Copies of this chain bind each other. A is one copy, B any other.
Amino acid sequence: MKVIPGGVTAAKGFRAGGIHCGIKYKNKDLALIYSEDPCVACGLFTQNKVQAAPISLSRAHLRNNRAQAIVINSGCANCCTGKQGIRDAREICASVAEKLGISSNDVLAASTGTIGKRLPLKKIKKALGPLVDRLSPQRGLAAARAIMTTDTKPKQVAVELKIGGTEVRLGGIAKGAGMIHPCLATMLAFITTDAAIDKRRLEKALKDAVDNSFNSITVEGDTSTNDMVLALANGKACNRGLRARDFKAFQKALDFVCLSLAKMIIKDAEGASRFVEIQVEQAKDIAQAKKVAFKVANSPLVKTAIFGGNPNWGRIAAAAGCADKAVRADRLNIYLGAVKVLQKGAALNVNRERLNKIFRKGKIEIKIILGLGRSAARVFTCDLSDRYVKINAEY
């Protein structure tokens, strides 16, 4: 497997584009991803009980496991918009389908932005003509830009691998920035591949890849109403059927694409100045490991200490201690970087200057050893800065 340039249009037969249609005051706000051939498709959606209209519509359109286009807007979430919101999303899909000459059922929709406002249908429909006309394999980056909200950078990645001697490509784009929490956050990610793969295996691979990437990142613990990850496979690579070994290679490539995009989301999180990796080990099961890791990752006290470059590990111990009732202080060990600071619940005498250095790096590694079992989990997050507060106070 090797990393190649491009993103969502790196795989054969995919085209994309993005334009400014006027939902936002300025900047691109409408994206379209299109495959020349119908694709095997699957998706994962937010677990928030308040769900945006495009979530239910895309779910419905995926029932036949097939799709050929994805239309995405930023600037308006189309959430808490009732039945009218569903009608609006449906009308946009129909309009896209008509212009592309495909079935409306093969168009998926995604939205991100402010909750509680209707989509400006006229503006969007007017822009769809030029958007379809300009679709191109070179415009994946424009699509990545058009789905941004408070992101400061477009996020894309692509890889190439061999399956039975045939070149197969896999790429994707994503947006993130705020309201990022597992079970999908205000994040959207769209993955395309020219691999020939059946729906069952595409879905399995996507689920596994997302668990260890988009479902392992958090900015502030808020789960959005609009999250989705969609994967489209058009089979254009014409690889042989996937043997077990091939599937493993595909999984590995998909893992890489999802994790790369997830890390880009954290690095570009609202106000973030440091990238934080939290590893929890010796948990009784993965659920417990994740629970502890997320409690620490979402602790405002831990996050502000990291922002301040302040190795106040007592806050890490306190967060771990209230994450799960099975945690035992007398078995708890904590490392900052390679330095052990807590052993079986008691502080070790550590050179403070050494800890300061670790906490002033751009990337911070925290390891928490529970001493309760053999499971582990890794979660990625960022610090909590005054800039995060400003961005979200004013948004």
Contacts of A395 in B (CB 8 A): 305, 308, 310, 312
- A side interface size, CB within 8 A: 68
How distant is the Cα of A320 from the Cα of B324 in the complex, in angstroms? 22
Pick the contact of A392: B51, B300, B313 (CB < 8 A): B300
Contact with B along A374-392 (1 / 0, CB 8 A): 0000000000111011101
With A308-B392, A347-B116 known as contacts, the answer to whether A48 contacts B318 (CB < 8 A) is: yes
Is A329 an interface residue when CB atoms closer than 8 A count as contact?
yes
CA distance A132 to B221 in the complex (A): 47
The closest CB in chain B to the CB of A348 belongs to: B116
Q: Does A100 contact B (CB under 8 A)?
A: no
* Interface residue A5 (Cβ < 8 Å from any Cβ of B): no
Decide if the interface of chain A is mainly helix, strand, loop or mixed.
loop
Check A327 for interface membership: any CB of B closer than 8 A. Answer: yes
Q: CB distance B321 to A50 under 8 Å? A: yes
- Residues of chain B contacted by A320 (CB below 8 angstroms): 50
Task: Tell me if A80 and B347 are in contact (CB < 8 A).
Answer: yes
Whether A317 is near chain B, meaning CB under 8 Å from some CB there, is yes
- Mask of A224-256 contacts with B, CB within 8 angstroms, 1/0: 110000000000000000000000000000000
A194-226: CB near B (< 8 Å → 1, else 0) gives: 000000000000000000000000001111110
Chain A interface residues toward B at CB < 8 A: 47-51, 77, 79-84, 114-117, 178-179, 181, 183, 220-225, 298-301, 304-305, 307-310, 312-315, 317-322, 324-325, 327-329, 332, 341-342, 344-347, 384-386, 388-390, 392-395
